[in-house]
Amino acid sequence: PAGVARLLPPVMGTVLELAREGACLLRTYVSGDTMPIAELRQVAQRYPDLDVMVVHLGGTKVFGLVTVTMTGEQGAELTDLLRPSRAVPVHRDDYTVMTSGLEDYLAAARQRGVVDRVLSVQRGQEVDLPTRLRG
């Protein structure tokens, strides 16, 4: 948000590709503390076949007023926009300033019809992410 941009570090999302011998095995989008902005449509356009999205949530509020991390609703909106095969919600209840937890995201994902893409992972839990060969 513009009002607090000077007080906070810059944030960005990243697309990571795991490749072997020129073939993409896994394409992952890591949202970081990105907020919903129009430029995220470019991710959907450039990478319409994301395997995994690690979506940072929490609805963190600075000064109790300004939201600086995505809420559950915003995360579900991003899941709907990017349509990854799997969405892994993280960073959702790490601090007391977080106001929107996993249940908010799941409810919003259900409402948008993308809850079947969500892979909830508990702290310390390991999950296998399926790789695939692409030309």
Enumerate residues 6+ apart whose C-beta is below 8 A from 97: 60, 61, 62, 64
- Contacting residues for 28 by C-beta, under 8 A, at least 6 apart: 15, 16, 17, 18, 50, 51, 52, 53, 54, 129
pLDDT in tens, 73-117: 999 999 999 999 999 999 877 777 777 888 999 999 999 999 999
pLDDT-based confidence at residue 127 (cuts at 50, 70, 90): confident
Name which of 7, 28, 8, 30 is nearest 19 in CA terms: 28
The first and second tokens of residue 81, run together, are 């926009």
Q: Does the pLDDT of residue 7 top 80, yes or no? A: no
